[in-house]
């Protein structure tokens, strides 16, 4: 009888977060908004090990539904690296813009403090930051 040894695989939270950001951008059609760079900054902050960060950001923008030039990608990469510490999910998504059509938030925002204020949505509902769901 052979004993199977348990492998020590480490889950890549950065990859999960990048996927969440991409899916959220697609869901709210962020590529059509004027503040699309907010999603690109968040994606770039969660891609610290990239060998080609500019190319990676351009491909991420394509997956989110927009094409950006290499010059734009270089500028966004430099701006994202200018922050000494990346923003938390709370700070990144704390102020949804009026251009967002719904109150759906990335799953990482669902685990916020109980004392966080409610968000007003474009459709007149209020989204509880803790639950991430819209309520009347």
Q: What is the mean pLDDT of residues 5-31?
A: 86
Which tens digit of pLDDT belongs to each residue from 24-41? Answer: 999 989 999 888 988 999
Distance CA 9, CA 7 (A): 6
Give the domain ranges of the chain.
13-135
Q: What are phi and psi of 126, to 5 degrees?
A: -115, 130
pLDDT at position 86, please? 66
Which has the minimum average pLDDT: 2-16, 52-66, 83-97, 115-129?
A: 115-129
- Closest by CA position to 131, among listed 102, 109, 110: 110
Question: What whole-number percentage of the chain has pLDDT above 70?
Answer: 56
Phi, psi of 13 (to 5 degrees): -70, -30
Question: What is residue 88's DSSP assignment?
Answer: P
- pLDDT tens digits along 85-132: 666 666 666 655 544 444 555 655 544 444 444 544 444 554 444 444
Judged against a pLDDT cut of 90, whether residue 65 lies above it is answered with yes
């Amino acid at each position: 009888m052979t004993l199977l040894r348990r492998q020590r695989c480490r889950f890549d939270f950065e990859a999960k977060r990048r996927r969440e950001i991409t899916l959220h951008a697609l869901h709210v059609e962020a590529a059509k908004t004027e503040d699309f760079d907010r999603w690109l900054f968040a994606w770039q902050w969660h891609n610290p090990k990239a060998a080609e960060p500019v190319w990676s950001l351009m491909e991420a923008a394509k997956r989110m539904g927009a094409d950006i030039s290499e010059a734009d990608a270089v500028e966004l990469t430099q701006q994202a690296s200018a922050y000494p510490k990346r923003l938390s999910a709370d700070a990144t998504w704390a102020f949804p813009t009026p251009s967002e059509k719904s109150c759906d938030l990335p799953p990482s925002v669902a685990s916020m403090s109980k004392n966080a204020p409610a968000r007003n949505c474009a459709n007149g509902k209020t989204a509880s930051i803790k639950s991430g769901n819209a309520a009347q």
